[in-house]
Amino acid sequence: NEAGNGFSPKEKLSEYRFFSGELKQLQPSENVVPYELNSTLFSNYAEKLRFVYMPAGKQVLYKENGVLDFPEGTYLIKNFYYPLDFRHPEKGRRIIETRLLVHTSKGWQAWPYYWNDEQTEAYYDVAGETTEINYINQNGKKVKAPYYVPNKNECKGCHSYQQQMQPIGPSVAEMNKEMNYGGNPKNQLVYWKEKGLIANLPEINMLPKMPVWNDAQTGSVNQRARAYLDINCAHCHRTGGPAETSGLLLTYNEQ
């Protein structure tokens, strides 16, 4: 039992039952909630779909700064994929990997899953993989490039703070945005509050909001540059981070 007290990785992604129907459609089950971030980590042009599972009756605790305090038993589910043609997403996609970050009784654990070529299943893979990706980019250019799926131990190279594994993206500022829930657009923090998923959330107009780094309408150049550095760099290059360079970078909230 890798993580202890009932937490251990399953052989196949489908065994968790996070998704209903055909696995590659990534349609969340009733107890799995999609979420999005304002500014996202650049990952060699890969697109991502994010979901969270929390045990029934559990809530995440509001925290103004930093990653939210998720309860034990939480699974953060991040799927990396490439559209076959970025200009026409309807033509399909290839899912490369799914990374699970699991809050166990011994802290957060990273469990990587690698998808097969048939797109029917993803398998627990601690060793990592190198594959080739092929797609057409937004400019109509055919792209062929290597894609490296990190091994399990490499996850802590980014997801480490004070020598403990932790999530990076889901903070209040990052999640303070509108999301489409089955044709019903709603601020996702308000949605979480209505569903009983978050506790002690203040009024929405009191919450910090991260700009979208590549959308000029969401903030000044200074604010958007800080947002880019915050999600791409500051989680490592900070005091207590895996690439500590104290004083070099400020997080977005340290303006």
Residue closest to 171 by CA, chosen among 251, 81, 248: 251
Give the pLDDT confidence score for residue 17 in this predicted structure.
Answer: 97
**Residue holding tokens 């992604």?**
13
- Report which DSSP code applies to 141: -
Residue 244 clears pLDDT 90, i.e. is over it: no
Residue closest to 173 by CA, chosen among 228, 210, 219, 218: 210
Nearest-angstrom CA–CA distance, 204 and 176 = 8
Give the pLDDT confidence score for residue 7 in this predicted structure.
Answer: 75
Instruction: Judge contact between 51 and 29, C-beta under 8 A.
Output: no
At 103-156, the pLDDT tens digits run: 998 889 999 999 999 999 999 998 788 899 999 999 999 999 999 887 666 555
**How many CB atoms are closer than 10 A to CB 26?**
20
Q: How confident is the model at residue 218 (pLDDT cuts 50, 70, 90)?
A: confident
Retrieve residue 216's tokens: 């000029």
Q: How confident is the model at residue 230 (pLDDT cuts 50, 70, 90)?
A: confident
At 152-190, the pLDDT tens digits run: 665 555 655 555 667 887 899 999 999 998 888 999 999
- Report which DSSP code applies to 69: B
Nearest-angstrom CA–CA distance, 211 and 228 = 9
Give the pLDDT confidence score for residue 24 in this predicted structure.
Answer: 97
Residue 229 main-chain phi, psi, to 5 deg? -65, -35
- Report which DSSP code applies to 181: E
Residue 246 clears pLDDT 70, i.e. is over it: no
Give the pLDDT confidence score for residue 248 in this predicted structure.
Answer: 47
Residue 19 clears pLDDT 70, i.e. is over it: yes
Our measurement of the distance from residue 51's CA atom to the centroid of its chain's CA atoms, rounded to an integer in Å, reads 8
Q: How confident is the model at residue 6 (pLDDT cuts 50, 70, 90)?
A: low
What pTM was computed for the model? 0.85
Q: Could you tell me which residue, 238 or 97, shows the higher pLDDT?
A: 97
Residue type, 133: I
Residue 122 main-chain phi, psi, to 5 deg? -125, 140
Nearest-angstrom CA–CA distance, 49 and 54 = 17
Give the pLDDT confidence score for residue 231 in this predicted structure.
Answer: 73
At 194-216, the pLDDT tens digits run: 999 999 899 988 898 988 878 78
At 52-89, the pLDDT tens digits run: 999 999 999 998 888 899 999 999 999 999 999 999 99
Regarding beta strands 198-199 and 60-61, do their DSSP bridges make them parallel or antiparallel, or are they unpaired? parallel
Question: HSE of 71 in the Cβ direction (CA atoms, 13 Å)?
Answer: 13
Nearest-angstrom CA–CA distance, 100 and 110 = 6
3-state secondary structure 1-53: CCCECCECCCCEHHHHCCEECCHHHCEECCCEEEECCCCCCCCCCCEEEEEEE
How large is the average pLDDT for residues 10-38? 96
Q: Which stretch of DSSP H or E encloses residue 148?
A: strand 142-149
Q: Backbone dihedral region of 119: left (phi > 0), alpha (psi from -120 to 50 degrees) or beta?
A: left
Give the pLDDT confidence score for residue 245 in this predicted structure.
Answer: 62
Retrieve residue 67's tokens: 């990653």
Q: Which stretch of DSSP H or E encloses residue 197?
A: none
